[in-house]
Chains A and B, each alone.
Chain A
Amino acid sequence: MVEADRHANIELLTYTEVDGVEGEAGDFRVNLTKKPRYIIEDKCTGCATCAEYCPALIPDPYNQELSTNKAVHIYFSIAVPLVSYIDENCLYLKEKKCRICEAVCENGAIDFSQQPEKMEVKVGAILLSPGFEPFDPGVKDEYGYGKMPNVVTSLDFERLLSATGPYEGEVKRPSDEKHPHKIAWIQCVGSRRVTEGDNSYCSAVCCTYTQKQVLLTKDHYPDVECTIFHNDIRSYGKDFETYYQRAADMPGVKFVRSYVSIGKEIPETRNVTIRYATSEDGVKEEEFDLVVLSIGLNPPADHNELAEKFGIELTSHNFCKTNPVNPSETSCPGIFVSGAFQGPLDIPESVITASGAGSQCGEILDYRRGKLTQERIYPPERDVSKEEPRVGVFVCHCGANIGRVVDVPSTVEYALTLPNVVYAQEQLFSCTTNSAKEIADIAKEKGLNRVVIAACSPRTLEPLFRDTVREAGINQYFLEMANIREQNSWVHSKEPEEATQKAKDIVRMSVARTALLEPLQEIDLPVNKTALVVGGGIAGMTCALSIANQGHDVYVVEKDTDLGGMARRIHYTLEGLDVQAYLRDLVHKVYQHPLIHVYTDATITEATGYIGNFVTKVKSERGATEIKHGAAVIAIGADEYKPTEYLYGEDDRVLTQLELEDQIARGEERLIKSQSLVMIQCVGCRNEDRNYCARVCCSHAIKNALKLKEVNPEMDIYILFRDMRTYGLMEDYYREASEKDVKFIRYEPDDNPQVEAVEEEGRPVLRVTATDPILGQKLAIDADYLTLSAAVIPPAGNKEISQLFKVSLGPDEFFKEAHVKLRPVDFAADGIFLCGTAHYPKHIPEAITQAYGAAGRALTLLSHDIVTVSGSVCEVKEDDCVSCGACITACMYGAIEFYDTPQGKKARVNPVLCKGDGLCNAKCPTGAIFLKHFTDEEILSQIDAAVPEEEIIQQMDAAVGDV
């Protein structure tokens, strides 16, 4: 949020509603109303004094009304902008009384005369991201929500778990504010049900968020007993399966597969009973201290207004109607959609849809790219080389995150006693725009030349604070962050005194280091405007087209003779798309595009270079080619597992889903006319060899089953499954299959189905034996065909590509993104992006969304003329270099080479290739090579300062004694 707020080309209009839209793609006029917040945003500092004095208590909307807040308050602790607003329950707004806030606000930021403000903005494209509305279980009596205080929703519970929640992270139940010892979660509340008021679809995120809540609860309170009542566990996302196992393996955590109903509330304890049934014990009623309803995702509450204002169509579920092959495209050209308005989506996928929609906006607006952009201009950097270090220390409360544990004022006082510190103060939230400005202003006013911010981990906010010191004319490498949150207040919440001492120790270490910091310059590199896409499947081609449509040359490198990848073996989707027709059209567009250059039968022989300046050598049917490009996208797809089980390869009646699909598409008579067909799910995955869910197989099975039922309604179809994972909107097709009499039989992984080829009354059949979980008896099905839902497995060339481009693979050997949520289509290596099934198994529309996402990310690089690389890289003091080559062998990036100098061979670093890991430093015998910003002296100064002060004094006394 802070980054969006600080971006020179993003204008945030909060507390603002859209009234209507006119015009067309490329030229929209949007009418807006800015609601009065009765606060002058520019004057409000977020100090919250108004809220302190406000006498009107209201249920806090941010904390699910579990706690109270004041009528004037900041919406939540890290809101952007971090300014107050006045709720309609304000005494003055309601009854013209009070106005205390006006009197106490020292900045005169309160303005009761504010009126709704109309405005119009002109835009070329519109992106809708209205999110979702949580399902309200209060609409149904059966859950007791709103009647029994100890029945809460998962969103209520989320707030209870949060450090900024109603009890500051303590899980207390609403009836008596006591810690619950036995908590139950009920899954699929409002989802996967066709009853009135419920949703028929699966909400796609609840299984995994519940597991997260269980893990967090156990983290807070290891002794709490957690029981999860569930239907299928849908851990279909990347790394979700192992996450589920982690939760399930926790002591005191029980996953119970059962439909449940809320029983009663025990009047004395207000505990809640749940009735459920298991095959072992039959029907039971159990008492819990707290019941959490894992509620699903509804479309935004104002979906009808949205549809009307923007002229877009909705689906039967009231989500945004989108192009079946491009889930970001609405029915109105120029208007795109990202996030859960597309349908239920989790955070990583929402982020991907956002990047993807961004790229498509770019395609529309490319012709006037850069016309309105603004660049951030920093004041000139002050030369401080002649000055003594003047350190300013800012200690952040982080609301209550730090301040509740660490004595912040005493830490500030202590900081003032440290060498070189000329200024110190506390801040409520150092990261807010106002606080950042305060830091810059004070740095200028007090003539600081170094800044220490004692707050959170530098991981998220260091870029912001570097920006802040630049605003003050200070080199950004003169900033140091002391982490007193993650590594202190969060882990020592029960030991405030020790935590305060530790905060002082950490600040002391940072201050010591700061004195030695050097100003560093970052390097501007030119960006080659061309992109390379590795892999010519649907993802690779979609990505290439989107980049090319924004004016960049794209080279597509495909190892096969033809473009198309795995999609060549897919004939239709669950939603009814003719994949082959779509593919033909896509291939045609790729070949027709003047900026796309296709290389088939191609292998990559060498890949060198770095962000903005890669050189990749390709051998193809066109001969050897050297491609210079600024960005690369890895889209090499995935493979189908070749089963070794269930007679596959021995009996031609045993097929994989892709082979079955092919036979259906060809109208294979023997198949169509067969009486009975069995499908077995999870073949080759969710096991020890491949501990992940291949995500697409359940819906592929449903798709093929429905298709078979369409051509031969008499066919008996059985699907042997572990959990049906028709997540999201695909749930409706699962129901349809069930209604069409496709039979679903669940099996346990330790009791796999058995298959043998036998003859029954002269008919050769495949006899599939499995245990019926309901009857507990063995069940034999004689089938004419057996279809195995073979796993999607990592692509054959994954290791080579990973080595060539220096990008990593995850534990399941799919390519690993830089960050699951924050950078889901980026690699850790700069300038290289990822899409399609090379990342993880996914459906065609998902691969397309991700392809647009990768294109969007690549464009953020390619649209610039220069890219800036870090100043924290290695350098060699040539006089000290003894030419031993230890650094060269240590460097995994080939960033160091020998150069001839008049003094002989000396090592030299290419700063662009250097990743700043510093391995070479630890190997160099003479200390000739040094990592800037993390030099030996800087690190040793911290180690020296780590020793508690008393000992230093002792040592000083001893030293004085000697004299």
Chain B
Amino acid sequence: MCSGRIDLKFILRAFSNGTDGVFIGGCHLGECNYVTHGNYDALSVVLLCRKIMEHIGLNPERLRIEFMSSSDGIRFAALANDFSRKIKELGPLGTSEGIDENGLKSKLEAVNKLVPYIKLVERERLRVPVKSEEAYNKFFNSDEVNRLFNELIVDKLAISQIMLLLREKSLSTGEISENLGLNPSEVSRHMKNSSKQGFVRYDESGKRFALA
């Protein structure tokens, strides 16, 4: 098994379980013992996941990837100590970021539901042509990727979160926007599209949206 086996959903599951930080260790980039170089895939998953975390209000520093060889024991220990210190500084997941437990669970659940879709986006649009750590960091912080991220993932994520809320009970646009901290006009747009696609219906009597 290679670090490239790390699935986005593993990281999400750890955070859903209340883990305050996730550390992924891979081999040194460019020094694959095989021809796999899967640590670049792990790096890609981490960079993408950090973007998502930032978007849902979690500190992306809670997720770290580092590269080392089996002879880098000292380096591993130093990195692990540093990461532990950092996570202690950041405090417990969610509450330190002003998100309550239920809010956190629902946000992560919404992302988790999108994992298959995110994988497709990653495959189709987020491929980095050059295999170097610098190129990967640059790519994932580029305007182009930010635009793609907003276009392809942010909207879907909002809808995913709305659907999870509506599963509990019917809500008005105002209540949804308050709940998710989204702009009411954004929420209206999502609701309009979603009702067109037949995912939700508007309950005239209660002036609320419900799952179709």
A binds B: yes
Interface window among A527-535, A776-784, A943-951: A943-951
B123 proximity list for chain A (CB < 8 A): 884, 886, 889, 923
A444 in contact (CB, < 8 A): no
Binary interface profile of A, 6-30, with partner B (CB < 8 Å = 1, else 0)? 0000000000000000000000000
Q: How near does chain A come to B174, taking the closest CB pair, in angstroms?
A: 29
A806 proximity list for chain B (CB < 8 A): 34-35
Structural contact, B5 and A922, CB atoms closer than 8 A = yes
B6 proximity list for chain A (CB < 8 A): 922
Closest A residue to B117 using CB positions = A925
16 pairs, CB–CB < 8 Å, chain A vs chain B? A808-B34, A829-B34, A892-B34, A915-B36, A917-B5, A917-B34, A918-B2, A918-B5, A919-B36, A919-B38, A922-B45, A923-B119, A943-B14, A944-B13, A944-B17, A946-B14
Closest A residue to B6 using CB positions = A922
Nearest 6 interchain pairs by C-beta: A918-B5, A917-B2, A925-B116, A919-B4, A925-B119, A922-B7
- Report if A943-B10 is in contact (Cβ < 8 Å); known contacts: A917-B34, A922-B4, A922-B45: yes
Structural contact, B14 and A919, CB atoms closer than 8 A = no
A549 in contact (CB, < 8 A): no
Main secondary structure of the interface of A (DSSP, over half): loop
From 912 to 958 in chain A, residues with beta carbon under 8 angstroms from any chain B beta carbon are 915-919, 921-926, 931, 934, 936, 939-940, 943-944, 946-947, 951
Structural contact, B9 and A917, CB atoms closer than 8 A = no
Q: Name 12 extra pairs, CB < 8 A, besides A808-B33, A919-B5, A951-B18.
A: A219-B73, A491-B73, A806-B34, A915-B36, A917-B34, A917-B36, A919-B36, A922-B4, A922-B5, A925-B116, A931-B1, A944-B13
- Complex Cα gap A887–B33 (Å): 21
- Complex Cα gap A934–B115 (Å): 19
Q: How near does chain B come to A354, taking the closest CB pair, in angstroms?
A: 23
A890 in contact (CB, < 8 A): yes
Structural contact, B120 and A921, CB atoms closer than 8 A = no
Structural contact, B74 and A219, CB atoms closer than 8 A = yes
A934 proximity list for chain B (CB < 8 A): 1, 5
Interface residue from A889, A918, A926, A943 paired with B4 (Cβ < 8 Å): A918
B10 proximity list for chain A (CB < 8 A): 939-940, 943
Closest A residue to B74 using CB positions = A219
A922 proximity list for chain B (CB < 8 A): 4-8, 41, 45, 119
Structural contact, B35 and A808, CB atoms closer than 8 A = yes
B179 in contact (CB, < 8 A): no
Q: How near does chain A come to B61, taking the closest CB pair, in angstroms?
A: 20
Structural contact, B5 and A921, CB atoms closer than 8 A = yes
Interface residue from A491, A811, A924, A939 paired with B31 (Cβ < 8 Å): A811
- Report if A947-B19 is in contact (Cβ < 8 Å); known contacts: A919-B36, A922-B7, A936-B7: yes
From 881 to 927 in chain A, residues with beta carbon under 8 angstroms from any chain B beta carbon are 884, 886, 889-890, 892-893, 915-919, 921-926
B115 proximity list for chain A (CB < 8 A): 925
A260 in contact (CB, < 8 A): no
- Complex Cα gap A360–B37 (Å): 38
Closest B residue to A917 using CB positions = B2
- Complex Cα gap A923–B9 (Å): 11
Structural contact, A947 and B36, CB atoms closer than 8 A = no
Interface residue from B37, B38, B77, B119 paired with A491 (Cβ < 8 Å): B77
From 786 to 825 in chain A, residues with beta carbon under 8 angstroms from any chain B beta carbon are 803, 806, 808, 811, 816, 818
B19 proximity list for chain A (CB < 8 A): 946-947
Interface residue from B17, B117, B120 paired with A946 (Cβ < 8 Å): B17
Closest A residue to B120 using CB positions = A925
- Complex Cα gap A227–B2 (Å): 41
Structural contact, B18 and A918, CB atoms closer than 8 A = no
- Complex Cα gap A947–B13 (Å): 11
Q: How near does chain B come to A958, taking the closest CB pair, in angstroms?
A: 10
A566 in contact (CB, < 8 A): no
A828 in contact (CB, < 8 A): yes
From 347 to 380 in chain A, residues with beta carbon under 8 angstroms from any chain B beta carbon are none
Q: How near does chain A come to B1, taking the closest CB pair, in angstroms?
A: 5
B5 proximity list for chain A (CB < 8 A): 917-919, 921-922, 931, 934
A818 proximity list for chain B (CB < 8 A): 33
B148 proximity list for chain A (CB < 8 A): none
A919 proximity list for chain B (CB < 8 A): 2, 4-5, 36, 38, 41
B32 in contact (CB, < 8 A): yes
Q: Which of the listed residues B2, B31, B117 has the most CB atoms from chain A within 10 Å of its own CB?
A: B2
Structural contact, B41 and A890, CB atoms closer than 8 A = yes
A923 proximity list for chain B (CB < 8 A): 41, 119, 123
Size class of the contact patch on chain B: 20 to 34
A940 proximity list for chain B (CB < 8 A): 9-10, 13
Closest A residue to B22 using CB positions = A943
Interface residue from A916, A926, A936 paired with B9 (Cβ < 8 Å): A936
Binary interface profile of B, 66-93, with partner A (CB < 8 Å = 1, else 0)? 0000000110010000000000000000
Q: How near does chain B come to A773, taking the closest CB pair, in angstroms?
A: 34
Structural contact, B1 and A917, CB atoms closer than 8 A = yes
A893 proximity list for chain B (CB < 8 A): 35
- Complex Cα gap A557–B135 (Å): 39
- Report if A892-B17 is in contact (Cβ < 8 Å); known contacts: A886-B123, A918-B4: no
Q: How near does chain A come to B162, taking the closest CB pair, in angstroms?
A: 22
From 1 to 51 in chain B, residues with beta carbon under 8 angstroms from any chain A beta carbon are 1-2, 4-10, 13-14, 17-19, 31-38, 41, 45
- Report if A947-B2 is in contact (Cβ < 8 Å); known contacts: A219-B74, A922-B45, A925-B116: no
Interface residue from B1, B17, B35 paired with A918 (Cβ < 8 Å): B1
Structural contact, B34 and A947, CB atoms closer than 8 A = no
Binary interface profile of B, 105-140, with partner A (CB < 8 Å = 1, else 0)? 000000000011101100100000000000000000
- Complex Cα gap A811–B30 (Å): 9
- Complex Cα gap A892–B41 (Å): 12
B74 proximity list for chain A (CB < 8 A): 219
- Complex Cα gap A840–B44 (Å): 34
Q: How near does chain A come to B24, taking the closest CB pair, in angstroms?
A: 12
- Complex Cα gap A884–B119 (Å): 11
B14 proximity list for chain A (CB < 8 A): 943, 946
Q: How near does chain B come to A875, taking the closest CB pair, in angstroms?
A: 15
- Complex Cα gap A943–B23 (Å): 12
- Complex Cα gap A926–B8 (Å): 13
Q: Which of the listed residues A816, A890, A923 has the most CB atoms from chain B within 10 Å of its own CB?
A: A923
Structural contact, B17 and A926, CB atoms closer than 8 A = no
Q: How near does chain B come to A874, taking the closest CB pair, in angstroms?
A: 10
B36 proximity list for chain A (CB < 8 A): 892, 915, 917, 919
Q: How near does chain B come to A928, taking the closest CB pair, in angstroms?
A: 11
- Complex Cα gap A919–B6 (Å): 8
A884 proximity list for chain B (CB < 8 A): 120, 123
Q: How near does chain B come to A814, taking the closest CB pair, in angstroms?
A: 14
Q: Which of the listed residues A884, A916, A943, A944 has the most CB atoms from chain B within 10 Å of its own CB?
A: A943
A886 proximity list for chain B (CB < 8 A): 119-120, 123
Closest B residue to A828 using CB positions = B33
- Complex Cα gap A349–B7 (Å): 41
- Complex Cα gap A44–B38 (Å): 48
- Complex Cα gap A572–B82 (Å): 57
Q: How near does chain B come to A869, taking the closest CB pair, in angstroms?
A: 15
A829 proximity list for chain B (CB < 8 A): 34
Q: How near does chain A come to B47, taking the closest CB pair, in angstroms?
A: 14
A921 proximity list for chain B (CB < 8 A): 5, 7
- Complex Cα gap A642–B3 (Å): 40
- Complex Cα gap A892–B32 (Å): 12
- Complex Cα gap A926–B33 (Å): 29
B33 proximity list for chain A (CB < 8 A): 808, 816, 818, 828
Closest B residue to A808 using CB positions = B33
- Complex Cα gap A936–B11 (Å): 12
Q: How near does chain A come to B73, taking the closest CB pair, in angstroms?
A: 8
